[in-house]
Structure 1
């Protein structure tokens, strides 16, 4: 197994607002002295790990990130529906005899406290910070709830040892977990995702729009029923992902097959799935136009320096692809080979394929 897999992608998004700041504007960053559009790594990771591609490829090996496990435990206690069925939104008949609300509240609070500090407020079952719960921990909560309901007694301290150091949650293994009060159960992220930035400078534009009232016959006024303003941008984005294959395998308990499957699912989702922001307004869905995948034991490095001087003329995509290749070759010239092997997919010229990229990243991480 090669220690690292690095993914360099170019994705062209039409007018869109995929990732907004606190004012509702597309996020930006200054690079090379110029303003660029930006998509945060948090937004990208969220889109990928909640995608159909991820779920179809990794069913049973995906965790849940929530503040509300106490509320779901309460609902399970009081309805008799298993906790896991409620989490998965499965229509399931009650499987055990429900317990009274007072006991359910107390026992659910004790379960929630395992994963974080409760929010302030009377009878709050939510915790203050999001906690990522693995499939093993979901099953442990499920079993505990049903055991308490059957016995009519609350959980003991031993029963509340619900956290697991070893788990099969691919999303936790990839993107990490931090429990401030239980550092023993933290997980170091095996995947690093850079903020995507445009390869060229850009301007956030205003979108003035109106909506017509269908029942306004123009008898008194022919004006719009609504006037609004939104902001958007468009551009070719450079995205960089670094996967520590060895750490990912370690986080997944040494399961080589699951590790390989997880890497393939991540790369496919990254190539096909954009953030969901304002999709109904802009339909800004896009596949990667170019992918460079590298594997090796060498220290990873981004190729973002290719775009310190923004692309500002000609065919942006063609120039961006060439810029990445030139930067990669120049770095190899001065540092020596920065990877042991690589493969490319170029949708602009119809060369290579996504299947070829996925086979490459899987085959080099067995």
Structure 2
């Protein structure tokens, strides 16, 4: 197996929007290069990517991340063995046997039902569909035979047979380190390539049933927003992904699914208000054998429009940064695939002949397949 990192760099212009809010409702931001930037957290885009997986793959094959793991396993037990009583009790026991600590859900001040709910994990737990099914099978066998679940078998059931999303994004179990899965994909916080100042939209809404002599608004308020050209970056360690999945074909499928979903997805914050969904101006996929390289340094000096579309200036800065990095540190093995829409394509032709996105994905799949030792 040849070591291979798949880096994906995205330049994407987003119109007035508030796709990722902080605790005050304001668009998230960061200071970089001494100026304020728009920011979209890695968590927000990872969730958007995971949600798009459900459009690209059979949802039944994907994992679930939840504290309500007892309910999750209990539902599977009930589906397979509806005759068994108290599936929640069986599910809780097999999860505990696997080394997962459970606790009663915390009761709110006005909540009288929390004490009746099944136990939950104290943290979000990411389980694949296969792991859920195997844990349920052990619980059913235990109930049928009257013998306790073997703890080593329960731990084994919660490991292996990772779904694509679990293999890519990993899992941390604070109580049992042996259940941890190192993430094969890393996603950076997206930031604007230029300085950004947030703006405010003062809005009113009219009551359709208001009397004719009432000219006032039914409600009023304001929402904070900005617009920006974002630099987005993610990388996939194909060797780690192969280790997590245990299968060459699944690894290739996982890489192509991740690239497709990461490039085309968008967090949904305030989407109904702003209809801000766009596709990238440019996508650069770098296939590296040395290490992942984030090219955000291209934008430490803010990109100014100066009579041209900001995405064009950003594409030029991105190409220059990559060439400089390769000149200083590269060994000539990096391969670049370019996808661009509009005038930004001209700034990236020095890195490679522009391709359709689908063609670039096919070429990545061939390269990953070859790195794993299979036919290109």
Would the TM-score normalized by the shorter structure come out above 0.5? yes
Greater fraction of residues in helix: 2
- The equivalent residue for 1:274 is 266
Change (3 A) 1:170 1:115: farther
Change (3 A) 1:167 1:55: farther
Q: Report deviation, 1:54.
A: 4.9
8 Å CA contact 1:141–1:162 kept in 2: the answer is no
* 2-structure distance, mates of 1:267, 1:344: 13
The one of 320, 334, 352 equivalent to 1:326 is 320
- More displaced, 345-354 or 142-151? 142-151
* 1-structure distance, mates of 2:55, 2:162: 14
| Equivalenced residues, count | 345
The answer on 1:243 being equivalent to 2:244 is no
Q: Report deviation, 1:58.
A: 5.9
- The equivalent residue for 1:228 is 221
The answer on 1:262 being equivalent to 2:254 is yes
* 2-structure distance, mates of 1:185, 1:171: 16
Change (3 A) 1:96 1:71: closer
Q: Report deviation, 1:338.
A: 6.5
* 2-structure distance, mates of 1:19, 1:313: 24
Q: Report deviation, 1:138.
A: 1.2
* 2-structure distance, mates of 1:225, 1:302: 49
Query: Counterpart of 1:132 in 2: which secondary structure?
Result: strand
Q: Report deviation, 1:309.
A: 0.6
Query: Counterpart of 2:243 in 1: which secondary structure?
Result: helix
- The equivalent residue for 1:66 is 66
Runs (5+) with no aligned partner, structure 1: 83-94
Residue correspondence of structure 1 range 184-195 to structure 2 within 5 A: 184-195=178-189
The answer on 1:308 being equivalent to 2:293 is no
* 1-structure distance, mates of 2:147, 2:27: 49
Change (3 A) 1:169 1:75: closer
- More displaced, 159-168 or 293-302? 159-168
Q: Could you tell me the TM-score, scaled by structure 1's length? A: 0.87
Change (3 A) 1:365 1:73: closer
- More displaced, 105-114 or 296-305? 105-114
Query: Counterpart of 1:288 in 2: which secondary structure?
Result: coil
Query: Counterpart of 2:56 in 1: which secondary structure?
Result: helix
Q: Report deviation, 1:128.
A: 1.0
The answer on 1:179 being equivalent to 2:173 is yes
The answer on 1:362 being equivalent to 2:360 is no
Q: Report deviation, 1:328.
A: 1.1
* 2-structure distance, mates of 1:339, 1:209: 54
Q: Report deviation, 1:206.
A: 0.9
Change (3 A) 1:280 1:74: same
The answer on 1:352 being equivalent to 2:338 is no
Tell me the alpha carbon deviations over residues 317-365 of structure 1, each in whole angstroms, 9 at most, x when there is no partner. Answer: 1100011011111222222346521110111247421012201221111
Tell me the alpha carbon deviations over residues 107-138 of structure 1, each in whole angstroms, 9 at most, x when there is no partner. Answer: 33323434633234546421110111122211
The answer on 1:97 being equivalent to 2:87 is no
Change (3 A) 1:54 1:245: farther
8 Å CA contact 2:76–2:133 kept in 1: the answer is no
The one of 69, 79, 82 equivalent to 1:81 is 79
The one of 84, 89, 92 equivalent to 1:109 is 92
